[in-house]
Amino acid sequence: MGSRRGFTLIELLVVIAIIVIIAGILFPVFARARAKARQAKCSAHLRQIGLAIRMYSDDYDEQGPPTTGWHLYGGDGSTGNDHPGPGWEERVEPYVKNLDVYRCPDYPHPIRFSYFLNTRCWWVWQNRGYQWGCAWVSYPHIEHASAYIIAGDCWNERLLPPPTGTATYVPEDSCDKDNMTYQCLNYDRPHGNGSNVAYADGHVKFAARYDPQTMTFSPVEMADWQ
């Protein structure tokens, strides 16, 4: 029998170099695929939240959930700056039945509540009539349901707890984030180059920037957050 020849050092180095090159090509592909999967899961969460808000409004005279300040999940208003009453995510929880829906997988783990409710400009029920203000949505007064933003990824450092953000109003993550005072949509975060946005007609779309033709924060006109 002839002797069996092993690999030479040069041959081994060539094989290692090929493996390194292939890994360098595939690892970014895998990373992008994982990022797209997280974005898709976030989109599914927002779709459930949008449906839950609509179901809530069906039970409350076509009114969406109010947002009233800073709230700890399960709090009673006696802890730190926790305001009395439930946050909007607590109000619609019976319609989602799973707290994991409130967390986008692209957010750091200390953040349990990743989404904001659009409260920039709403019709408010006051003195037995609708008046212009900032409180909660009245679905019958939404003129552009396919463009009207109901909720979306919240990435404003003032609304996120440390170490991710700078919010100090409550010792933990607020379950009542809204964009009445702070602009929540950051088109560079959390998905690298954009945010997921839920609309009044139930669809969810990825937004890399504000589009004045297809997005509005106002129920009665096409308008950006101002």
CB neighbour list of residue 145: distance below 8 Å, 6 or more residues apart: 199, 200, 201
Q: pLDDT class for 132, splitting at 50, 70, 90? A: very low
> How far is the C-alpha of 177 from the C-alpha of 175, rounded, in Å?
6
> How far is the C-alpha of 68 from the C-alpha of 208, rounded, in Å?
29
Q: pLDDT class for 127, splitting at 50, 70, 90? A: low
Burial (CB count <10 Å: 0-12, 13-18, 19+), residue 35: middle
**Predicted TM-score (pTM) above 0.75:** yes
Please determine, for residue 23, whether its predicted confidence score (pLDDT) is greater than 90: no
Give me the residue spans of the domains in the chain: 9-207
Please determine, for residue 83, whether its predicted confidence score (pLDDT) is greater than 90: no
Give the residue with greater pLDDT, 128 vs 199.
Answer: 199
Helix (H, G, I), strand (E, B) or coil at 84: coil
Which pair of tokens denotes residue 25? Answer: 């090509």
Burial (CB count <10 Å: 0-12, 13-18, 19+), residue 148: buried
pLDDT tens, position by position, 187-198: 888 998 899 999
